[in-house]
Amino acid sequence: MVASDKVFLLMDERNKRVKAVALVPHPVSPEKVKWAWSYAVKHTGTPGEADYEAAVKLMMKRHPRWAVAMRMHRALTFVPVDLNAAEEDFIEIVHM
């Protein structure tokens, strides 16, 4: 498990799609994350065509304590609480 103070969804230039997710292990303002993401997007790719993968790499280089993952938006699933199904959970046994 990754300890994180906050989770940030990093958007595309039009603010319509999530391009990456940042997990920050210490208190940081959303504005600082915006500056870091904007810097990384601006300084990678070509004018008019962002290279988000390169932006993630640059962001991780500039902020090594942050965990930044590409394409996490495809893995995000909203999980509701269903108290009627709670007893379906089972304990996983891990053999060391």
| 31 belongs to a structural domain | yes
Region 46-58: what's the mean pLDDT? Answer: 90
Is position 42 within any domain?
yes
pLDDT at 3: 54
47 domain residue, yes or no: yes
**Average model confidence (pLDDT) across the chain:** 84
Residue 71's domain comprises: 6-88
Q: Look at residue 75 in the predicted model and tell me its pLDDT.
A: 59
pLDDT at residue 42 above 90?
yes
* The pLDDT of residue 1: 46
Helix 52-62 and helix 30-42: axis angle, to 10°? 120
Has residue 18 been placed in a domain? yes
* Count of domains observed in the chain: 1
Q: What angle do CA 12, 7, 87 make, to 5 degrees?
A: 120
pLDDT value of position 9: 86
How many other C-beta atoms lie within 10 A of the C-beta of residue 88? Answer: 7
